[in-house]
Structure 1
Amino acid sequence: MNIFIDSQALSWFKQEVEIQSGEFVRFFVRYGGSSPLHDSFSLGLTKEEPIEVGAKQEYDGVTFFVEQKDLWFFDGHDLHVHYNEKLDEPEYTYVKPE
C-alpha cells in the first residue's frame, strides 16, 4: 500500500493540523461514517508518532502513515489524498494498483 498526498492537501495539513517537518500524521480506521471500501467504517487522522508502521510516505519532512493493524481497511488499495476546495478539507480516494 502506498500513500499519495497532493501539494494542496499537504498545505492544508500544515495549516489546519499545524504539522511541521519531523512530525507524523496517522490515518486510522474509525467506526462510523462510510467509505467506498467499507460501509460503517471511515478514515480519520491524528497527529501522533507511529508504533507499528504498515505503510508510510514522507512529504516535506512530514511522515504520513497507517499502522499495521489498520491495513485491512485499504483492501489492497493505495490511499490518495487531495484537497477539496468546496469543503475546505482533505478528500480520500482509494486506487487499486495495476
Structure 2
Amino acid sequence: MKITVTDRASQWFREDMGMTGRGIRFFGKVYGKTPVHQGFSLGMTPDDHPRDPVVTMTKDDVTYYITEGDEWFFVGYDLTIEYDPKTDGPTYIYTENGEL
C-alpha cells in the first residue's frame, strides 16, 4: 500500500487548504461509495499528529498518511491523489497492488 500525490494535487493542498508543514489523514467512512467499496467513502482530515501510521508520504512539506485503524479500507490498493479542475479539488484513484 502506498500513497502518491501529484504535483497539482500537492499545490491544491498547500494553497487552497493551507496545509504547508501539516499532516493529512485519509480514512474510510460509512456511507457513500468508491470505485472499490460500496457503502463506504474516503474521508480526509487535517491531523498533525499521526498515531500508528501504516503508510506515510511527504511531499512539499505536507505529510499524507493512513493509520492502522483505517488500513482495512486500503488493503490491496495504492492510493493516488490527483487534482480535478472540474471540482477544484482532489480526486482519488485506487490501483490494485496485489497485497492482501
Residues 41-62 of structure 1, C-alpha deviations (whole Å, 9 max, x = no match): 0111111121110111010121
Number of residue equivalences: 97
Counterpart contact for 2:81–2:92, Cα < 8 Å: yes
CA distance in 1, matches of 2:70, 2:2: 13
Q: Structure 2 CA distance, aligned partners of 1:93 and 1:65?
A: 15
Q: Report how far residue 75 of structure 1 moved.
A: 2.7
Taking the aligned partners of 2:61 and 2:44, their CA distance within structure 1 comes to 18
List 4+ stretches of structure 1 deviating above 2 A: none
Give the Å deviation of 1:16.
2.2
TM-score, length-normalised on structure 2? 0.91
Amino acid paired to 2:72: W
Q: Which runs of 5+ in 1 are unaligned?
A: none
Q: Percent identity?
A: 34
**1:42: which partner in 2?**
41
Structure 2 counterpart of 1:32, which letter? Y
Give the letter aligned to residue 42 of structure 2: L
Instruction: For 1:84 and 1:43, locate their aligned partners in 2 and report how far apart those are by CA, in whole Å.
Output: 16
